[in-house]
Copies of this chain bind each other. A is one copy, B any other.
Amino acid sequence: MINKRTSIEEAIAKIGDGAVVMVGGFGVPGTPFTLIEELVRQNPRRLTIIKNDANEAGMGVDHLLRNGQVERLVVSHIGLNPHAIQLKNEGRIEVEFCPQGILAERIRAAGAGLAGFLTDIAMETLLAEGKPRVELDGEEYLVERALEADFALIHAHAADPFGNLTYAASARNFSPLMAMAADTVIVEAENMVALGGIAPEAVHTPGPFVDHVVELQELSEAYGVVRR
């Protein structure tokens, strides 16, 4: 199995203007802060960011927002980031809200090579507006489209050089789904282990889904426990 270790500069350099980028994480756990930092440094513009949330003001994807790199957010909520809410209200970014589980499922559908799925979730809400409906066996359903991306940025607890991954605790969240749904999957790994260092039964994301593995040299403060 080939070695997918890549420098962070080289991996992130693949992301150009207008790219659609999935970013793992739910709050702090699972957010790939170091990859995001490099994305800010390399500064591609007009990005679409797909993530559960917009992190908190001054953290993670908020750096992309502050740097004016984001044109569109697809999220389940931005309630912890007043800055993102402000940008939305001022019309400076476009925000598409999805119910959280539907966001997860749309990402997974892309990863599974499906075009979409039928659900009754949110049918009688504002979020159903403009979505196609179909009837199946006498019931009406919304059609939710698969949501794919050019890139996924993923934080792993451990990775081997082939890209087999594990996630820690609640840092798993959207990452295994996004790692299936993007054309190019870039992983930052807290711990690099040798091939065979992850037991076959313990792998959370199998290597064939992963394109680039970047070893984290250190964890910045952003990864730490937040005092509230």
> Do A112 and B105 contact each other (CB < 8 Å), given the known contacts A143-B134, A167-B201?
yes
Q: Which residues of B contact A132 (CB under 8 A)?
A: 136
A195 within 8 A of B: no
Within 8 A of B (CB), among A120-146: 120, 132, 134, 136-137, 139, 141, 143, 145
The copy count of this chain in the complex is: 2
A13 within 8 A of B: no
Q: Give the number of chain A interface residues (Cβ < 8 Å).
A: 28
Q: Which residues of B contact A201 (CB under 8 A)?
A: 166-169, 172, 202, 204
Q: Which of these, B136, B143, B167, B204, contacts A136 with CB under 8 Å?
A: B143
> Do A117 and B120 contact each other (CB < 8 Å), given the known contacts A136-B132, A167-B201, A169-B200?
no
> Do A118 and B143 contact each other (CB < 8 Å), given the known contacts A201-B166, A201-B167?
yes
Considering only CB atoms, which chain B residue lies closest to A170 in the complex?
B200
Q: B139 and A115: CB pair below 8 A?
A: yes
Q: How far is the CB of A91 from chain B (nearest CB, A)?
A: 26
A3 within 8 A of B: no
Considering only CB atoms, which chain B residue lies closest to A199 in the complex?
B202
> How far, in angstroms, from A96 to B136 measured CA to CA in the complex?
19
Q: Which of these, B136, B202, B204, contacts A116 with CB under 8 Å?
A: B136
**Which residues from chain A sit less than 8 Å from chain B, CB to CB?**
105, 109, 112-120, 132, 134, 136-137, 139, 141, 143, 145, 166-169, 172, 200-202, 204
